[in-house]
Structure 1
Amino acid sequence: MSKSKNIYKIIDNKGRIYIPKELRTAAEMEPGDIVKLGLQKGTVTAKKVNLIEIGDQSPEAMEAYVRAALKEMSEETQINIAARILELVESRKGVQL
């Protein structure tokens, strides 16, 4: 991607913005990656990271950690975790498997 090419986007009513494929490719961002948002001198920054900051226990950070960890797990472990999550969700609904 050319550094001189500007791309303009409109933020939707939920505060979301679409990052174009050419920018995601250049930043090596893929679905499920963790992106750290920041603010530097009035400029919003977005940086792909592999780990969340220690101590951040926000729901978003926890989800990002789980997604990153899943990428490193065997398929068998992923299936076991998915089954356990399903059990937890179903038990909260009062439904038995």
Structure 2
Amino acid sequence: MGKPVYKLLDQKGRVLIPKEMRAAAGMEYGDIVGLGIADGKVSVRKVSIIEVGDQSPEAVEAYVRAAIRTMPDDTRLSLISDLSGLMR
């Protein structure tokens, strides 16, 4: 493991994972990450599937974003059209 990196938590408890670390972990925008805690240490890991039964808004959004990435462009466009129709 390389040198430790120190970051400040913002008022909402967020912390930015540096670009180099995200790249090394294979993380990019829209990926699903799992958070865990053990022995007072928080861990972050990229996951490809959410836990069964987790229907929190965050989990559902992460699942949808991940699913859309794997779709062909014509399917994405069709889905966007369908979803746009629901907003009227």
2:63 counterpart residue number? 65
2:72 counterpart residue number? 74
1:18 counterpart residue number? 16
**Count of residues in Structure 1 that have an aligned counterpart in Structure 2:** 88
- Structure 2: runs of 5 or more not aligned: none
What TM-score comes out, normalization by structure 2 length? Answer: 0.93
Aligned AA (1:40): A
Q: Higher relative contact order by CA 8 Å / sep ≥ 6: 1 or 2?
A: 2
User: 1:8-42: CA deviations, max 9, x gaps?
Assistant: 00011122111001110110101111111111111
- Structure 1: runs of 5 or more not aligned: 91-97
Choose which of 60, 72, 81 in structure 2 pairs with 1:83: 81
2:34 counterpart residue number? 36
Aligned AA (1:62): V
* Identity percentage of aligned residues: 51
List structure 1 runs of 4+ shifted beyond 6 angstroms.
Answer: none
Larger radius of gyration: 1
What TM-score comes out, normalization by structure 1 length? Answer: 0.85
